[in-house]
């Protein structure tokens, strides 16, 4: 009986366009699970060589697991997507890193040989289910001073990072945010984002039926002057604003993971090869620094250094969180290896879905950059965690 781990590959990934949460958002009257179903159906449509009965697992993440994001959403969306009822599914919750965790969970099963092919993704309809809805945090967390009260507000944790690292100024955060908007606008103009978007039929009692085909949150043309005038909602004379942070958003993602052997047998594309991953805990009050220890752990386990990484997809929950990572590793704020297509400040961050968005963007960049061997996807996670996945480029042409 073989106990040797198998290579795990990222076959394909898609996402819905991301919308703004709330009554004016494109998905206000669209169910969260229908967003996931649209993604799974699109994956199956794009990969007709994958028979539905070959899918061994469906893992779907949601941070707020109630209503149309509850009831073991991985199983219900599998059934409603047209997969055979023999395909099992489950739900995942690691807050912002839900989809990332869904990917690493199924990857572990694939490496062990318990699974051959799986679908993993995430969804968040923050318009229907604001983060923390119906949650009841144990009062001992605060009463026994295990964490500071600010740990329960993601915006306050970002302000705390500004406090801890004074060199991470509001001016730097605003400049990074403008860069994110500019890169996203260019990526759209160059047709880099559209290939992985799933058009979603939407309805509105006021406007009737429509089709969501592009992200709603981006604000092209944003300037430093625009951002300087914004309010700081988390603290008087603070540094975190709506302009240098991701907004409240709705959206879903899904990806196919497989053993490399199975992918080759079925003729499925191999877009990335998983090298290593790690999750790490940090002080909840400064949850945004979580990607640093997670990346250190993943690099050490992989036998790599930060200099081996040629492309970075870092989730922009807050600009200051990305800047803390870049400063730690001595990477310039505008390094062209980082978030080449823009990030969550522009596209949005529907919490549990975002991990797969990072992966689909990295996979597309791998195709364009055969000189790059390794890339990583990393994100901070609420309540004081970070997650990092290191990927190898199957298009790498070797050292020249």
Q: Which two tokens stand for residue 390?
A: 């290191």
Q: Tell me whether residue 28 is one of the annotated catalytic residues.
A: no
Cα separations (Å) of 171 from 157, 204, 218, 235, 323?
18, 39, 20, 16, 12
CB 300 within 8 A of CB 316: no
Q: Kindly give the pairing relationship between strand 374-381 and strand 309-314.
A: parallel
Q: Tell me whether residue 380 is one of the annotated catalytic residues.
A: yes
Q: Kindly give the pairing relationship between strand 272-281 and strand 385-392.
A: antiparallel
Q: Which two tokens stand for residue 261?
A: 């052997």
Which residues have CB under 8 Å from 50's CB, separation 6+?
Answer: 44, 117, 256, 266, 268
* Helix (H) or strand (E) run with residue 316 in it: none
Choosing from 28, 125, 162, 349, the catalytic residue is 349
Residue that has been written with the tokens 């489950």 in this structure: 90
- CA dihedral 26→28→29→30, nearest 10 degrees, is 70
Q: Which two tokens stand for residue 123?
A: 């969804």
Choosing from 125, 129, 369, 380, the catalytic residue is 380
- Taking the C-alpha atoms of residue 234 and residue 345, their distance in angstroms, rounded to an integer, is 17
CB 58 within 8 A of CB 88: yes
Q: Kindly give the pairing relationship between strand 249-259 and strand 19-20.
A: antiparallel
Choosing from 96, 125, 162, 369, the catalytic residue is 96
Q: Tell me whether residue 4 is one of the annotated catalytic residues.
A: no
Residues with a known catalytic role: 96, 349, 380
């Amino acid at each position: 009986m073989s106990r040797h781990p198998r290579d795990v590959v990222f076959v394909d990934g898609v996402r819905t366009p991301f919308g703004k949460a709330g009554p004016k958002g494109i998905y206000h009257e669209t169910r969260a699970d229908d967003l996931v179903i649209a993604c799974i159906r699109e994956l199956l449509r794009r990969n007709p060589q994958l028979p539905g009965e070959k899918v061994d697992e469906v893992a779907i993440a949601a941070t707020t697991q109630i209503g149309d994001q509850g009831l073991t959403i991985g199983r219900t969306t599998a059934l409603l997507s047209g997969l055979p009822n023999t395909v099992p599914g489950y739900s995942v919750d690691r807050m912002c890193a839900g989809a990332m965790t869904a990917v690493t969970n199924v990857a572990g099963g694939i490496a062990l040989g318990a699974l051959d092919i799986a679908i993993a993704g995430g969804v968040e309809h923050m318009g229907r289910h604001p983060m923390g809805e119906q949650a009841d945090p144990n009062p001992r967390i605060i009463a026994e001073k295990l964490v500071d009260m600010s740990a329960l507000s993601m915006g306050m944790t970002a302000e705390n990072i500004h406090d801890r690292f004074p060199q991470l100024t509001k001016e730097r955060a605003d400049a990074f945010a403008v860069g994110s908007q500019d890169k996203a606008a260019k990526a759209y103009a160059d047709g880099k984002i559209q290939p992985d978007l799933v058009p979603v039929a939407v309805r509105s009692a006021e406007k009737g039926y429509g089709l969501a085909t592009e992200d709603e949150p981006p604000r092209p043309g944003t300037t430093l002057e625009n951002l300087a005038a914004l309010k700081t909602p988390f603290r008087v004379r603070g540094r975190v604003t709506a302009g240098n942070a991701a907004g409240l958003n709705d959206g879903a993602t899904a990806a196919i993971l497989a053993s490399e052997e199975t992918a080759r047998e079925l003729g499925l594309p191999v877009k990335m090869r998983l090298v290593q991953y790690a999750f790490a805990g940090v002080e909840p009050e400064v949850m945004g620094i979580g990607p640093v220890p997670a990346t250190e752990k993943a690099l050490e386990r992989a036998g790599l250094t930060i200099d081996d990484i040629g492309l970075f997809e870092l989730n922009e929950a807050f600009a200051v969180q990305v800047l803390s990572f870049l400063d730690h590793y001595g990477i310039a704020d505008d390094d062209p290896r980082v978030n080449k297509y823009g990030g969550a400040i522009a596209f949005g961050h529907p919490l549990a879905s975002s991990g797969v968005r990072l992966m689909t963007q990295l996979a597309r960049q791998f195709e364009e950059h055969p000189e790059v061997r390794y890339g990583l996807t990393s994100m901070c996670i609420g309540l004081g965690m970070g997650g990092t996945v290191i990927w190898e480029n199957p298009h790498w042409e070797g050292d020249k």
